Amino acid sequence: MSPPNPPPKDVAVVGAGVIGLSIALALQARGLSVIVLDREGPAAGASEGNAGAFAFTDILPLASPGILRKAPGWLMDPLGPLSIPPAYAFRIAPWMLRFWQACAPDRVAAATTAQTALMDLSKAELEPFLARTGTSGMLAKRGNLQVYESQEEFAASLPGWDAREAHGIAFRHMTAEEMADLQPGLSPRFTHGTFTPEWYSISDPKLYTLKLAERFRAEGGQIERAEILALQPTDKAVVLQATDRTFQVRQVVLAAGAFSHRIARSVGDRIPLETERGYNTTLPANAFDLRLQITFGGHGFVVTRLSTGIRVGGAVELGGLRLPPNFRRSEAMLRKAKEFLPALETGGGVQWMGFRPSLPDSLPAIGHSSASRRVIYGFGHGHLGLTQSPATARLVADMVTGAPPAIDLSPFSPQRF
């Protein structure tokens, strides 16, 4: 006689990045049995190579009138802060139309309010979450320095800082001399700066995500490598169809990053998710005496200190999932970083490219599928996945367990498009 089939898990989380594993741990903490399914395994996507920042002050959406003013000039440079490969231009046109519509002032204001609420919740949830998962020692609070090359560039940034001030975000504008005291070795071409002290960072995003996976397993969680192709909700369960087998659970959370929209289509939800392809180079830890993260906003990249090295990366390439990486973008950022930090040693670096899942209005999709309340979405965080992971975990755990949501979820509805 064959042994009886084990009872289905309460929840399957599709995606083993920082969002998926944070959700899995939050569900586990509420007494649910959870399995995590991922096509490659923990920390294999954008969670591996991001800048490691908890950017709670980054409340302004990418979709904004300011980006519309800058975009034409940036798009003229194929290696600049924003690019669209010609081979992908036609494919992304409908998404770009939605992005343009999201730049309307009233929509920017609404997105900023929603983003602020999500950031505030993430900040409140972060340190308790780190304490529960044994990762508190990986957190650093060094702040971020945004630098400007002229009075004109600095003046153009002030409305954004006014918006942050209105939402209670602390910052301090700085002269070149004050910046030199805060971060020696910065090129004198930068005449102004703004320091945000409440910009935190993790020692290394990949190691952090792997620690979350380790903790999840230690608490009885199961992680399996499986590429999920489709979801089939029924009255009492959800069947997940993988390439070589099926799984049945009571509820599903879809947090598969840049691949999420493909799976959502299987239940009839067409969500306009696109891919910000991010590039970076990680240099040896002794490449520069970096005291805090530096954001070169006019050039679309950051330089940040990790426990594993100095990471130079950022920019936005809207190029989908299939085109090969263009590592000339990493090289271009590294050349600029050398100009901006003349003492930076640029040898011995490791290049990386990853997919950041982005929706046109810069807000994630957090909510139920239109097909079934047994299917919950938590994806589309763009370049803020690490930052917003504690809040997303809290909100999804509330939805799964029927608790009242901590913030208004309507701005993040997957059906808003």
DSSP 156-195: HHHHHHHHHHHTT---EEEEHHHHHHHSTT--TT--EEEE
| Alpha helix (H) residue ranges in 222-301 | 260-264
Q: CATH number of the domain at 155, please.
A: 3.30.9.10
Which segments within 62-136 are labelled E, that is strand? 82-83
Q: What pairing do the DSSP bridges indicate for beta strands 309-318 and 200-202? A: unpaired
Angle at the Cα of 385 from the Cα atoms of 27 and 233, rounded to 5 degrees = 50
d(CA 39, CA 366): 21
- Does residue 405 lie in a domain region? no
- Does residue 72 lie in a domain region? yes
- The closest alpha carbon to 262, from 9, 13, 14, 11, belongs to 14
Residue-level pLDDT at 125? 98
Residue-level pLDDT at 81? 86
Residue-level pLDDT at 77? 82
Q: What pairing do the DSSP bridges indicate for beta strands 200-202 and 53-54? A: antiparallel
Angle between helical axes of 205-218 and 18-29 (0-180°, round to 10): 30
- Does residue 400 lie in a domain region? no
Residue-level pLDDT at 411? 98
- Does residue 134 lie in a domain region? no
For 236, counting Cβ atoms within 10 Å of its Cβ (0-12 exposed, 13-18 middle, 19+ buried), the class is: exposed
Q: With beta carbons less than 8 A apart as the criterion, state whether 196 and 160 touch.
A: no
Sign of CA dihedral 166, 167, 168, 169: negative
Angle at the Cα of 236 from the Cα atoms of 234 and 241, rounded to 5 degrees = 50
- Domains in the chain: how many in total? 1
Residue-level pLDDT at 74? 74
Residue-level pLDDT at 212? 98
- Does residue 127 lie in a domain region? no
Residue-level pLDDT at 2? 43
Look up tokens 């993790």; give the residue.
202
Look up tokens 């960072």; give the residue.
201
DSSP-assigned letter for residue 62: S
Instruction: Give how far Cα 12 sits from Cα of 89, 200, 264, 378, 391, Å.
Output: 36, 30, 15, 13, 19
Residues counted in the chain: 417
The DSSP result for 348-387, as a single string, is: S-EEEEEEEEE-TTS--EEEE-SS-TTEEEEE-BGGGHHH
Residue-level pLDDT at 342? 98
- The closest alpha carbon to 58, from 200, 227, 259, belongs to 200
- Does residue 403 lie in a domain region? no
Sign of CA dihedral 215, 218, 222, 223: positive
For 47, counting Cβ atoms within 10 Å of its Cβ (0-12 exposed, 13-18 middle, 19+ buried), the class is: buried
d(CA 259, CA 136): 30
Residue-level pLDDT at 243? 95
Question: Tokens at residue 68, please?
Answer: 């519309």
Q: With beta carbons less than 8 A apart as the criterion, state whether 230 and 72 touch.
A: no
d(CA 181, CA 158): 23
Query: What b/e string do you get for 64-94 counting C-beta neighbours within 10 Å, with b at 16 or more?
Result: bebbeebbeebeeeebbbbbbbeebeeebee
- Does residue 283 lie in a domain region? yes
Residue-level pLDDT at 7? 66
For 300, the domain range is 64-101+142-198+275-355
- Does residue 178 lie in a domain region? yes
d(CA 262, CA 265): 5
Look up tokens 């004050």; give the residue.
178
Query: What b/e string do you get for 124-151 counting C-beta neighbours within 10 Å, with b at 16 or more?
Result: ebbeebbeebebeebebeebbbbbbbee
In a structure prediction context, what are the per-residue pLDDT tens digits for the chain, which is 417 residues long?
444 456 688 999 999 999 999 999 999 999 999 999 999 999 998 999 999 999 999 999 988 887 877 777 777 788 888 899 999 999 999 999 999 999 999 999 999 999 999 999 999 999 999 999 999 999 999 999 999 999 999 999 999 999 999 999 999 999 999 999 999 999 999 999 999 999 999 999 999 999 999 999 999 999 999 999 999 999 999 999 999 999 999 999 999 999 999 999 999 999 999 999 999 999 999 999 999 999 999 999 999 999 999 999 998 899 999 999 999 999 999 999 999 999 999 999 999 999 999 999 999 999 999 999 999 999 999 999 999 999 999 999 999 999 999 999 999 999 999
